[in-house]
Amino acid sequence: MRWLFGVVIFALDVWAIASIINTNASNKSKILWILLILVLPVLGLIIWYFAGPKANYQR
């Protein structure tokens, strides 16, 4: 069951990093957010969700 939690966190982290890359934020800001998620996967994901830059998805 632990591995499932790990896989879910990994998938969410990849999604968050992809979303960060698709923002209009500065490159420095993007790098800092990505580093936060890589260093603190669970806590970084939670912080990004509430305070981080959001992606600009347009069709």
**pLDDT score of 55:** 72
At residue 30, the pLDDT reads 94
Residue 2: its pLDDT value, please?
87
Q: What is the 3-class SS of 1-59, one letter each residue?
A: CHHHHHHHHHHHHHHHHHHHHCCCCCHHHHHHHHHHHHHCHHHHHHHHHHHCCCCCCCC
CA distance 13 to 41: 7
The pLDDT tens digits of the residues spanning 14-59 come to: 999 999 998 888 999 999 999 999 999 999 999 999 998 877 766 5
